[in-house]
Amino acid sequence: MSKIYITDTTLRDGSHTVSHKFSPEDVKKIASSLDAAGIDIIEVGHGDGLTGSTINYGFSPYNDFELVRAAASVVKNSKLAVLLIPGIGTVEDLERAQDCGANAVRVATHVTEADVAAQHVRAAKKMGLFTVGFLMMAHMASVERVLEEAKKFESYGADIVYCTDSAGAMLPVDVRDKISTLVQNLSIPVGHHSHNNLGLAIGNSLAAIESGATYIDGSLSGLGAGSGNTSTDTLVAVMKKMNYDINADLYKTMDASTNALIPVLESKGLKTNTNLDAMILGYAGCYSSFLLHSRRAAERFNVDVRDIIIELGNRKAVGGQEDWIIEVASDLSKLKNK
């Protein structure tokens, strides 16, 4: 089974949801949490890529280079990526981003226009950057055309090619057809980026992995344009449950949402509907009505509610065995205090 690498786009695609107003301090808080969680690549910057802060795309009070520099000051293990859309960002912008600490770039074009990125990809490789060819709006082209454009990115020297569902319009069958064709006909890895407009982001990400993609995108709490992206938190849980080989730590990824992202969003007057404790119920196979009781027991015994839920799942607890919740919480507390 191939190793799967996760790119988190909270601090780039997710910036659409805060009108591109993530501050350098916000970036530090979120990026450091993602780095600690073992996320492989962290993407930072304006939602529309380097120097996207314009009247067309929405102004940001902070330039991309401030944000990249902020992330670079706290990221120790993950690759730090920027998005570059030819015609918005330039090679000179990319050089400046590298000076600020970026070591990866995703060069993004419309799915039929990879040729406009030739100079940018070649320049990025000359600079020593980990370079991704990012074909946006992939639902708008046939399988054959997606492959044709992907081969262009490959010929320019890209390290990976992405089939990107920018509109959240693809069905799992579309993802399978396009990803499997790329995997079978390219000599470089293939990635996939989903949006959740049809509620299919996780399903499409899994379809991509099953078809051979080894790079998958997400964002904390599913933050992103439209209905958001694949939720990194949920993606990690599902991939752990399916025994995929990933670097991300489940609890630390969840904590990046609850302890880093959500407080930042709340400080900006925004709310999320994310309930990560409920997600753990599905991960553990634990009866849904146990959640409230488990939270109370966790507070009473000063233990992690997730550990209670996972142990109840391991015990295959069912309705009527609520007394186990107290027993499990008590046992965990004793282990913790040994």
Could you give the residue numbers annotated as active site? Answer: 16
Q: What is the Cα–Cα distance from 331 to 80, expressed in whole angstroms?
A: 41
Please give the backbone phi and psi of residue 229, each rounded to the nearest 5 degrees, phi first.
-100, 180
| CB < 8 Å & 24+ apart, contacts of 294-300 | 294/325, 294/329, 297/325, 297/326, 297/328, 297/329, 298/329, 300/329
13 has binding-site annotation: yes
Task: Give yes or no for a contact between 133 and 161, defined as CB atoms under 8 angstroms apart.
Answer: yes
Do the annotations mark residue 46 as ligand-binding?
no
φ/ψ of residue 192, rounded to 5: -140, 140
Mode of pairing for the β-strands spanning 190-193 and 41-44: unpaired
Distance CA 89, CA 153 (A): 18
Q: What are phi and psi of 142, to 5 degrees?
A: -70, 165
To the question of whether residue 8 is assigned a binding role by annotation, the answer is no
Q: Is 12 annotated as a binding residue?
A: yes
Residue with token string 């995703």? 106
Task: Give kind and range of the element (H or E) at residue 193.
Answer: strand 190-193
Residues making up the annotated binding site are 12-13, 166, 193, 195, 287
Residues making up the annotated binding site for substrate are 12-13, 166, 193, 287
Residues making up the annotated binding site for Mn(2+) are 13, 193, 195
